[in-house]
Amino acid sequence: MSWLEAIVLGIVQGLTEFLPVSSSAHISIVGQLFFGNADPGAAFTAVIQLGTETAVVVYFAKDIGRIISHWFLSLFGKIPRDDLDARMGWYVIIGSIPIVVAGLLFQNAINTSLRNLWITVAMMAGFGIVLLLVDMFSREEYQLKHLNWLDGIAYGFAQMLALIPGVSRSGATIAGGLFLGYDREAATRYSFLLAIPAVYGSGLYELKDAIHVAGTPWPQIGVATVLAFGVGLAIIHWFLKFVSTHSFKVFVWYRLAVAAIVAGLILGGVLTA
């Protein structure tokens, strides 16, 4: 991996991780398109996601600290167990279970067959339509204070779909939230919080294996991860303001355009599926 690859892929990761456009799909497509038709791989993607997820921790530090402290205090009866932040801690835990189980069960497929670009094209287009429909018809009557156990689990199953490149972690969970009737801002905020255990778990799991692989380009991975953090932090600021006043249609048209372009590049022999 060259320094140019690391810089470009780090920036791409930061730009796309929190938008409903699938960062893993973009890493795969950009890696193959500009850098010798080589897919950077699921492991590289998982590791540099640690950078963007650290941006989430920094941005939501106060919220995360309050949720963790209230969750612990509720265990010992120091505060009511129905406290919103205490409940939020439980919802993040139960919402993380589906993606952990699926990630372990289908690890081989996630690293190999599911990274086929035709699958990415289908998911970019198909899930773009899903996002459009739920955005158009969502009731948007609930806020985070209305979150309950069943909705927390439903969010978790939606996030599980993000294991398929082209779906998008934020896109899946936000669409799930809109389908359940939550407003855009609530769905987006919970999407960010729910991603923390899953992304850190996946990244550290892949990092553990990468440590034992000779020739792993650690300096380049480090640069990509730092860039992903910086760009990702800026995107979080922008995106949360954007969703409060705009629909997701612009991301839907973008997904459909990317799907069409990638399909054309595969058929034209520029990319290998």
- Mind listing the pLDDT tens digit for each residue in 41-69? 667 777 888 899 999 999 999 999 999 99
Inform me whether the pLDDT recorded for 272 exceeds 90: no
Q: Give residue 5's pLDDT.
A: 87
Inform me whether the pLDDT recorded for 227 exceeds 90: yes
- Each residue's pLDDT tens digit, 186-209: 999 899 999 999 888 888 887 777
**Span 232-257, mean pLDDT?**
92
Q: Percentage of residues in the chain with pLDDT exceeding 90?
A: 52
Q: Which residue spans within the chain are E strands per DSSP?
A: none
Q: Give residue 36's pLDDT.
A: 67
End-to-end CA distance of the chain: 21
From 16, 32, 48, 11, select the one nearest 217 (Cα to Cα). 48
**Span 141-169, mean pLDDT?**
91
- Each residue's pLDDT tens digit, 209-226: 777 776 778 888 899 999
> H-type helices in 1-83, by residue range?
3-16, 23-34, 42-59, 61-75
Inform me whether the pLDDT recorded for 150 exceeds 90: yes
- Each residue's pLDDT tens digit, 66-121: 999 999 999 998 898 889 999 999 999 999 999 989 988 888 888 788 888 899 99
Alpha carbon 84 to chain centroid, angstroms: 24
With the CA atoms of 244, 250, 256 and 258 taken in that order, what torsion angle do they form, in degrees rounded to the nearest 10?
-100
CA distances from residue 1 to 13, 31, 203, 207 in whole angstroms, order as listed: 16, 10, 19, 17
Phi, psi torsion values for 182, nearest 5 degrees: -80, 150
As given in the structure block, the two tokens for residue 200 are 């850190």
As given in the structure block, the two tokens for residue 268 are 């034209």
Inform me whether the pLDDT recorded for 231 exceeds 70: yes
48-52, 244-248, 259-263: range with highest mean pLDDT: 259-263
With the CA atoms of 175, 194, 112 and 258 taken in that order, what torsion angle do they form, in degrees rounded to the nearest 10?
40
**Span 253-265, mean pLDDT?**
94
3 state DSSP class of 182: strand
Maximum Cα–Cα distance for the chain, whole Å?
64
As given in the structure block, the two tokens for residue 225 are 């991860």
Q: Mention every residue, 6+ apart, whose C-beta is less than 8 A from residue 100.
A: 197, 198, 201
Q: Give residue 41's pLDDT.
A: 65
Q: Percentage of residues in the chain with pLDDT exceeding 70?
A: 96
Inform me whether the pLDDT recorded for 142 exceeds 80: yes
Q: Mention every residue, 6+ apart, whose C-beta is less than 8 A from residue 110.
A: 42, 103, 163
Q: Give residue 204's pLDDT.
A: 83
Q: Give residue 255's pLDDT.
A: 95
More confident residue, 112 or 124: 124
As given in the structure block, the two tokens for residue 242 are 């954007």
CA distances from residue 186 to 5, 41, 67, 78, 133 in whole angstroms, order as listed: 35, 32, 16, 27, 18
* Confidence category of residue 38, pLDDT binned at 50, 70, 90: low
Q: Mention every residue, 6+ apart, whose C-beta is less than 8 A from residue 155.
A: 91, 95, 173, 176, 177, 180, 190, 191, 194
